[in-house]
Amino acid sequence: YQNLLKGLKPSTRQRFTALTLDYPEPAVERAILEREGRATPEIAARLVQLAQALRRLTDHDLEETASTRLLVMAARLVASGLPLRDACRAAVVDALSDDHDTLRALDEVVRAVVGDGD
């Protein structure tokens, strides 16, 4: 939403209240994934580790990065039986970009953090 507000004229932007929020602390984010995404503690920890790695990326001009909402979606896919790497690709990587090179780079981060299978 921050990018949306940046594109508004100043007179329009002044009609809104903007709150600056950061991502939850890792322990809190893991708890969210366990509760909302039905993730095991191990899966929640790996998803948070992935999110932290993706959030550090600065080279790929991503408009957004791995939100807690996307992590919850990935956790739910894993809980329903999808392998972790496939869930990360479907819920996180594919949601962040449609550029082939960027998708490949994001998938390499997924591979480095969660491995090739599961």
Q: What pLDDT score was predicted for residue 42?
A: 98
Over the stretch 40-70, which tens digit does the pLDDT of each residue have?
999 999 999 999 999 998 766 788 899 999 9
Q: State the Cα–Cα distance between residues 77 and 65, nearest whole angstrom.
A: 19
Other Cβ atoms less than 10 A from the Cβ of 45: the count is 17
CA distances from 93 to 19, 20, 38, 66, 103 (A): 26, 25, 20, 8, 6
- Rounded to 10 degrees, the C-alpha dihedral 96/52/114/84 comes to -50
In the predicted model, what is the mean pLDDT of residues 88-115?
95
Q: What's the pTM?
A: 0.85
Give me 64's structure tokens. Answer: 């957004």
113, 52 Cβ separation under 8 angstroms: no
Angle at alpha carbon of residue 71, lines to 65 and 77, rounded to 5°: 135
Over the stretch 7-27, which tens digit does the pLDDT of each residue have?
778 888 788 887 888 999 999
